[in-house]
Structure 1
Amino acid sequence: MRAYQLTTIGSTPALVDLPLPAPGPGEVQVRIAACGLNFADLLMTEGKYQDTPEAPFVMGMELAGTVVAAGPGTSTPVGTRVAVFSGQGGLAEAGNFAEARCTPLPDAMGFDEAAAFQIAYGTSHVALGPRGRLAAGETLVVLGAAGGVGLTAVEIGKRMGARVIACARGADKLEVARKAGADVLIDSETPDLKAALKAAGGADVVYDAIGGEAGEAAFGALKPGGRYLVIGFAGGSQPKLRLNHALVKNLEIHGLYWGGYLKTDPAVLTGSMRTLFGWFAEGGLRPHISARMPLERTAEALEMLRSRRSTGKVVVTME
């Protein structure tokens, strides 16, 4: 099979031919149709992601495809269409994955949509629900609102009844956020982002996938009793939060690492994904995929993420 492999941390990944063994106990073999890219894929190449596999490994954290073989002790029928959160192995024509990581797809969900769905929607749903406790009528500020996870936060925030302020860079990205349901649009490069957010009414909840100065500005715009959700640092640096403000204003700061629940409380993810797939089946969610590229153009696809030229998700297709 062809696969996009990182040989050593810090090296340039390459498309190679690898053998494909039979699936082992508890595993199913999936013919991969699509793989969704994530900012974490870039961090892995530098060894900066908290769950970077030991090299060499095949890149690609989430994928979708069809079960073509089943190992001992499994019950998923051959021919089942599945989404898989594997942490690695998605950028390949096929692979063996733990059956427990596979979720059958709704009939109406295409493989590209499924590959773009789990991490982005799962992160926002768990962050805004159990962690952020976003309530109807509250104001949600989303930083990086046109990005892979940020756009899903806009969608889910609106579904939960919030007033959504979307922050993104440039008119084109803000238009994407508007179409996803954002009520207020603010360019993230405005000279005084904190003042702009306060002028728009401030925030009950901040969803920060960017970090840096934007995160600091949004933190300063939180209302008393507000919640600040640490999602990631796509802007390249961590925000320097003034904890005296957290003290005086009774603010809460929550980190959210979606994949970490697989080890600590997998039922949270199982229940969340069940809800999200139900919303999709009702027509309430539609992944925004700004680019679809074949496997041999994976390097170009990753560069779109690195340069922040994409909106929503970038998906690599094998079929």
Structure 2
Amino acid sequence: MSSTTEQRPPQVTMAAWMVIICSVVVVLTVWEQISGLRSLETRESIEAFLAEPFAQGLGLDVESVIRLLRVSAMVSAGLATAAAILGWHVMQRNLAARLALTIVALPLFVTGMTSGGFVSSLVAAAVVMLWLSPAREWFRTGRWTPPAPPREARDDERPAARPTPPPVNAPGPLVPPHSAQPRPAAASAGLHDRPAALVSAFVVTVIGAGLVLAVVGFSVIVMAFSPDLLTAEIERQRPDMLEGSVSLDQLRSATLVVGALCMAWCSAALLFAGLAMARRRWARTALLVTAAASAGACVLSAFYTPVSLVPGLASIATVILLRRPEVRAWFR
């Protein structure tokens, strides 16, 4: 039976660092957004938004929207700064910091929608992990119970038993040695207790791949049924792209294909994560390969889209967690 320990659970460490890193990304994104509020592209986007039928009845003009965006961005930056500081104190088992971080997470998620809702949603997801076991047990008592290691040893790892010598002057059949007696089956609890690192890898995969799947799926739907939005976005960010030999239809088709491949990749990662929790050895290997490839692609994409660094960090964390010794031992 596993004994309790005072060491910090890996879920707490991972969740706290997710809060710190994502909060820093939110602050950097807000800084970039505020610096571009007065740009011509931003004003044109706001004017296009106010021209929509549902926005005409709001009674807002361009300057009012700019002021609202600035206030929302500054509030988001302040909340993200507080979340980063609280995330550090959470790792020191500060109960007040966990409660304050929980209170900060909701308004940060709401205000962060104007400056990259994907990153602020990761902060909220990390805060939820701080209220799940074993983090809940560690915050309440200062101790937690790690999962028991596999009790069934392999044949080549079992020590050789010394044979029992036969009794002297004792008639009758010899008593078989103790090692020859059938061994009782290992307790099923020891075989099926999932390591905490595996559970953490599953949670990170579900949150990361699930959010990417939702964002990319929504973007694909918008591009498929509202091509004018794609045209306006390209003209706002890369107006030189349409001046070359690539037509808008070709660009739209390529974007839809890439989005479909990304959705299939995220769906496969979710499937592999679920099968790995069911103790399928090949699923762990497939999830390792998927996470490693995703990490490489996201790191390369970060040079063009900095927000892609967030799912890249989640993929790196998944690889590290799946390579831990207790996870490898559980799949043997």
Name the TM-score, length of structure 1 as normaliser. 0.24
Structure 1 or 2: more helix by fraction: 2
Which structure's relative contact order is higher, taking Cα pairs within 8 Å and 6+ residues apart?
Answer: 2
Structure 1 or 2: more strand by fraction: 1
